[in-house]
Amino acid sequence: MTEKAKRNYKDTVFRMLFKKPQYALSLYNALNNTNYTDPALLRFNTLENAIYMNFKNDISFLIAHQMNLYEHQSTFNPNMPLRDLFYISDIIQEYVKDMSLYSSKLIRLPNPSFIVFYNGLDSMPERSVLKLSDAYELLTDNPSLDLKINVLNINPGMNEDLKNKCPVLKEYTLYVELVRHYRQFLSLTEAVSHAIEDCIQNNILREFLFKQKSEVIKVSIYEYDEEREMRLFRQAEREYAMELAMEEVTKSVTEKVTKAVTEKIRRESINTFISALQELKIDEALIFQKLTEKFHLTDAEAHDILYANSR
């Protein structure tokens, strides 16, 4: 198996886990303090087709009149509200496809809930909120359209109560940490394989990893390689932005210096011109006229300069 998985492979371990109804239900119960026990209550509507830059939404399902969209991120993305807007729009269109929008009866819609589970390496608070309105050019107190996402940091020491309520989520984060641990001194393929073996031996996602070991290896290699490339891309972005900023500062300073030097030379030329005419005993009115013509000065500018030279 190569170090890099095929680039057109889009699944993740998180998605593999929580597209299983029993695990999705456990996560929903943990988030909402409910105790549903029948996975058949869930109606999945995850978008299987790529709709934006080859991204699929991770998990979405309907239960108890609530439309839940769960996403996993190992790299922070501030544009997630916009992506979720696209996702929920497509999902709702599918939801109402057999209903008439021209009906006099109000079409009832499930209440949407947007969650991002973050376990990247960048520092993030335990809980935060992303809003679509944060991206608006014109900020208002009460935007006509908004979309809010609760971002939950599931790294070690973060949201432990939630992870304890949903053992699968907790075990998933333990698997991630093991991969990162082994990745410090092993190749990516070896790190993933060692992490899987450790988890199976220690009863962490044991059944899932035992049954789908080869698939998890392939997905994890793609996922962690993708995470590394994204971090390098973001670093390159920051460095490029800094270079542009330095170029702008240098250009601005250069322009100011050039302008100042040019103005100084022009002023010296005007003073020399005035001095020469004054030595020739030229009438001040004629000097005034010549200044406005030769140096394109306004009457006020010419007057001020003559006054300064006469003192």
* Tens-digit pLDDT profile for residues 83-95: 999 999 999 998 9
Give percent of the chain with pLDDT exceeding 70: 81
Q: Residues 183-196: what's their mean pLDDT?
A: 91
Q: Residues 226-249: what's their mean pLDDT?
A: 59
Q: Residues 5-32: what's their mean pLDDT?
A: 83
The long-range contacts involving 202-208, CB below 8 angstroms and separated by at least 24 positions, are 204/171, 204/174, 204/175, 205/17, 205/168, 205/171, 205/172, 205/175, 208/16, 208/17
Confidence of residue 5 (pLDDT cuts 50, 70, 90): very low
Confidence of residue 268 (pLDDT cuts 50, 70, 90): confident
Q: Residues 267-290: what's their mean pLDDT?
A: 78
- Asked if residue 87 is part of any domain, the answer here is yes
Q: Is pLDDT at 225 greater than 70 in this prediction?
A: no
- Asked if residue 6 is part of any domain, the answer here is no
Domain boundary among 220, 246, 272: 246
How far is Cα 74 from Cα 230, in angstroms, rounded to an integer?
9
Q: Are residues 30 and 62 in the same domain?
A: yes
Collapsed DSSP state (helix, strand, coil) of residue 65: coil
Find, among 160, 186, 6, 249, the residue nearest to 196 by Cα.
Answer: 186
Query: What number of other Cβ atoms are within 10 A of residue 31's Cβ?
Result: 18
Q: Are residues 296 and 164 in the same domain?
A: no
Q: Are residues 69 and 173 in the same domain?
A: yes
User: Which helix H or strand E contains 131, and what residues bound it?
Assistant: strand 127-131
Residue 241 has what pLDDT? 57
Domain boundary among 246, 271, 296: 246
Pairwise pLDDT comparison (282 vs 67), residue with the higher score: 67
Answer whether 147's CB lies under 8 Å from 131's CB.
yes
- Asked if residue 54 is part of any domain, the answer here is yes
Answer whether 75's CB lies under 8 Å from 234's CB.
yes
How far is Cα 225 from Cα 13, in angstroms, rounded to an integer?
13
Find, among 77, 76, 59, the residue nearest to 68 by Cα.
Answer: 59
How far is Cα 90 from Cα 85, in angstroms, rounded to an integer?
9
Which domain covers residue 187, as residue numbers? 13-97+107-135+144-246
43-44: strand order across its sheet: 43-44, 59-63, 66-73, 111-118, 148-153, 127-131
Give percent of the chain with pLDDT exceeding 90: 52
CA distances to 48, 55, 85, 263, 304 from 72, in Å: 16, 12, 16, 59, 69
Pairwise pLDDT comparison (276 vs 35), residue with the higher score: 35
Q: Are residues 236 and 276 in the same domain?
A: no
- Asked if residue 252 is part of any domain, the answer here is no
Pairwise pLDDT comparison (245 vs 145), residue with the higher score: 145
Query: Average pLDDT of the chain?
Result: 84
What tokens were used for 303? 């007057």
- Asked if residue 268 is part of any domain, the answer here is yes
Residue with tokens 């922070």: 76
Largest CA distance in the chain: 107
Q: Residue 195 contacts by C-beta under 8 Å, 6 or more apart in sequence?
A: 175, 178, 179, 181, 182, 220
Q: Is pLDDT at 171 greater than 80 in this prediction?
A: yes
Per DSSP, helices labelled H in 186-311 are 188-201, 206-211, 213-279, 284-294, 299-310
Quote the DSSP letter at residue 135.
G
Q: Is pLDDT at 47 greater than 80 in this prediction?
A: no
Q: Is pLDDT at 306 greater than 80 in this prediction?
A: no
Q: Residue 35 contacts by C-beta under 8 Å, 6 or more apart in sequence?
A: 29
- Asked if residue 120 is part of any domain, the answer here is yes
Q: Are residues 54 and 151 in the same domain?
A: yes
Q: Are residues 156 and 185 in the same domain?
A: yes
Residues 92, 96, 100, 104: what is their CA dihedral angle, to the nearest 10 degrees? -70
Q: Is pLDDT at 232 greater than 60 in this prediction?
A: no
Domain total for the chain?
Answer: 2
Q: Are residues 190 and 229 in the same domain?
A: yes
Q: Are residues 126 and 200 in the same domain?
A: yes
Quote the DSSP letter at residue 55.
B
What's the full length of the chain, in residues?
311
Give buried/exposed letters for 173-198 (b at 16+ CB in 10 A, else e): bbbbebbeebbeeeebbebbbbbbeb
Q: Are residues 120 and 225 in the same domain?
A: yes
Q: Is pLDDT at 234 greater than 70 in this prediction?
A: no
Q: Are residues 57 and 164 in the same domain?
A: yes
Q: Residues 4-25: what's their mean pLDDT?
A: 76
Answer whether 229's CB lies under 8 Å from 29's CB.
no
